[in-house]
Amino acid sequence: MNVEEQVSTYYNMLLKRNAGEPEFHQAVAEVLDSLKIVLKKDPHYADYGLIQRLCEPERQLIFRVPWVDDQGVVQVNRGFRVQFNSALGPYKGGLRFHPSVNLGIIKFLGFEQIFKNSLTGLPIGGGKGGSDFDPKGKSDAEIMRFCQSFMTELQRHIGEYRDVPAGDIGVGGREIGYLFGQYRRLANQHESGVLTGKGLTWGGSLVRTEATGYGLVYLTKEMLKSHGETFEGAKVIVSGSGNVAIYAMEKVQELGATVIAFSDSSGWVETPNGVDVEKLKEIKEVRRERVTSYVSEVEGATFHAEGSIWSLPCDVALPCATQNELDGEAARLLADNGCRFVAEGANMPSTPEAIEVFRERKIHFAPGKAANAGGVATSALEMQQNASRDSWSFEYTDDRLHKIMANIFKTIEATAAEYGHDGDYVIGANIAGFKKVADAMLAQGVI
Ligand code: NDP
């Protein structure tokens, strides 16, 4: 069998064994496509069932999460933790609380996390978890009871040397606090290394809150530089208005760009004069309100419930909301309107068709597993600080993050060129992330 046949036989088997999980199929298909290039050059990477083992999680946990709402009614949610690959270190990856969460979504996120974590150069394996719990509209007390019930099961499976969760969509500082409190109580272990994204007075790291958004901008800056551009004077669209989006907006504006639009799931806001990020933080992080509040409080901003955020002319687009939010049509709109750079703050926000359009229309594109790795990288820095019971300054930690992101860009650019696909950062990220994990798996035997 040649490489093409080998990979497609394997992929068809994966589709059958993981039926009804389209996001997982999509994430695997993209990586396998790049791996064909590696396997043609280095066929030993197909030895010892390596590809099959890589696509099969080491452990998948699904559990019941019962809790009592403010009306005294029992609610039952489903919890997940997929411990995908530990060849490079303890499983590391966030927890997502969103009604759309199911096993396939957690598996796609866990799979991506393996390569992302490998690209950071830090010793962390890949995992992901979450629940179909919807935090929207819940009281603080309900969030706390849910988090406590979720952790009551999860605590059996995690630990600073085993699996270290963090936040993701719907899980921020408040949720990490409740989860950590319950973990300490049940495990009777008061070291802080079991979760990252903690508060600064109880083991958290400076820069972790900003890390994914800032890291995204640091990597994009390197991509721009490699093509003779800077952020100075650029028009930037940032979708979403959560943790990743807010800090991406803050950093691009600091670098002299103007954020001309952002969004949430209710619609998008056009901001031709830039975004008042402090106001947006207050609305989203403190008051926990919708983007419509921003429009009523800041002059010159317009709300659109219809149409596409990607329809505005811009230089750089940073999708920072959720998976598959930017499709082929949106990619064509961006290209038609002069956009030249796209970098993913969210995980897999661009559909395969959109990525094809970026290739055809010569838009420089940095995939999430490289571009949004700053969050997990800084989580790993939080783990280092916890292990040495130390805490580093903002400047030092930010500088480490900056260097990590610049190094990731250098690696994916060089790998794409080495494999004959100069400028294709998808191929560069997939291959560079894969090779490190694959070498470790081959060295460690069939386990
Ligand atoms: P948050 O929960 O803080 O924010 C998510 C944002 O995206 C909200 O503004 C939300 O709006 C919006 N959103 C969600 N779904 C849609 C949709 N269908 N259309 C438009 N907007 C939508 O999550 P994060 O910022 O943490 O995560 C965003 C993305 O970044 C995710 O893909 C996540 O996996 C990825 N990521 C996050 C990391 C982190 O450190 N937090 C690290 C690496 C990747 P609304 O409030 O209306 O739901």
Catalytic (active-site) positions: 128
Q: What is the DSSP string of 56-106?
A: S-SEEEEEEEEEE-TTS-EEEEEEEEEEEE-SSSSEEEEEEE-TT--HHHH
What confidence score (pLDDT) does residue 191 get? 87
- The residues, any chain, with a CB within 8 Å of residue 447's CB and separated by 6 or more, are none
Judge whether 403 is annotated as a binding position: no
Q: Which protein residues touch ligand 1 with a CB less than 6 Å away?
A: 167-170, 212, 240-245, 263-266, 320-322, 325, 345-347, 372, 375
How far apart CA 98 and CA 80 sit, in angstroms, is 12
The protein residue with its alpha carbon nearest to ligand 1, atom 11, reads 264
Q: Which helix (H) or strand (E) holds 130?
A: strand 125-131
Q: Domains (ranges, CATH) in the chain?
A: 3-54 (1.10.285.10), 59-191 (3.40.50.10860), 211-371 (3.40.50.720)
Q: Closest residue (by CA) to atom 19 of ligand 1?
A: 265
Which residue owns the Cα nearest ligand 1 atom 5?
242
Stretches in the chain below the pLDDT threshold 50: none
Q: What's the mean pLDDT when you consider all of the chain?
A: 97
- Over the stretch 316-374, which tens digit does the pLDDT of each residue have? 999 999 999 999 999 999 999 999 999 999 999 999 999 999 999 999 999 999 999 99
**Ligand 1 centroid distance, CA of 60 (Å):** 24
At residue 53, the 3 state secondary structure works out as helix
Atom from ligand 1 closest to the CA of residue 245? 25
pLDDT of residue 111: 98
281 annotated ligand binder: no
Judge whether 245 and 269 are in contact, CB under 8 Å: no
